[in-house]
Amino acid sequence: MLHVQLIAYTPDPERVVAAAAKLCYSDTGVEALLEGLTPEKSAQFVRMLASYGHASPIEHASFTFGIEGVSRALLAQITRHRIASYSVQSQRYVRLDDFRFVIPPEVEADPASRAAFLAAMEEEGRQYLQLAQTLQARHKAAFLAEGLSEREAERKAEKLANEDARFVLPNACETKMVVTMNARSLQNFFRLRCCNRAQWEIRALAEEMYRLVYPIAPALFAHSGPPCVDGPCTEGKMSCGQAAQVRERYTRLRAELAGDQA
């Protein structure tokens, strides 16, 4: 099950962004950058940047998320967002003795599909462990023959076995990661992945991440979300045709998050 935590972020992110912008637009020295930057003044600077289309100062604010309960299919998508840092649970060092997996909602909703899916996952898990154990035994024997100690031979053999056995694991296999993005990258991430046309799993992740950062920096993320929230749909013929409903939902969401903050 998807679980996201905001585990760290730039303190007073809007103030930091405002300080960077202040340096761009005045002769203020570094020592005086933060002077007079109240929350209201900082938010004003952030809104000014948005109106100018001046995005580089917002890169000075960063946010770090702990994410678990997502699939390796999602991992392949999120790492396409290259201006970010990722630390992912290794399938080389971690033996998945009872691997967990993500079930797509459409599969979950259909009893026959769900039964077939679960049977496939059970077989994948069995094959994975059998392959890992077989490979590990062979590698261990070879290492012992080379004169390694029992402990060292076991450790090296397990790692080698894991890195090959993992090839049978499915895209559904759960993974965990820590992700850090600056605010500009996050805005781009939300623009692409909060859209109705984004794949369901990464859209759910993006919306949870949005819920976590908006109360901390509402001015910074005031126009975040899919493009149709504050402008026209950019999907052309592929549009979902639900721009009005999306705008209404994000209006309610922002009001809800603002209320939680209060």
Single out the catalytic residue among 100, 193, 197, 203: 193
In angstroms, the CA 143 to CA 94 distance is 20
Respond yes or no: is residue 193 known to be catalytic: yes
**85-88 sheet: strands from edge to edge:** 3-9, 62-71, 174-182, 85-88
Question: 169: number of CA atoms within 13 Å, CB side?
Answer: 25
Cα distances (Å, whole numbers) of residue 202 to 19, 67, 82, 139, 189: 33, 12, 16, 38, 10
Place of tokens 């939300």: 190
Return the bridge partners of 178, or none.
66, 87
Counted residue by residue, the chain has a size of: 262
Cβ atoms < 10 Å from Cβ of 229: 22
Helices of type H across 109-149:
111-145
Cβ atoms 39, 16 nearer than 8 A: no
Long-range contacts of 166-171 (CB under 8 A, 24+ apart): 166/91, 166/92, 166/96, 166/128, 168/124, 168/127, 168/128, 168/131, 169/72, 169/91, 169/96, 169/99, 169/124, 169/128, 170/72, 170/101, 170/120, 170/121, 170/124, 171/71, 171/72, 171/73, 171/76
List residues with catalytic annotation: 193
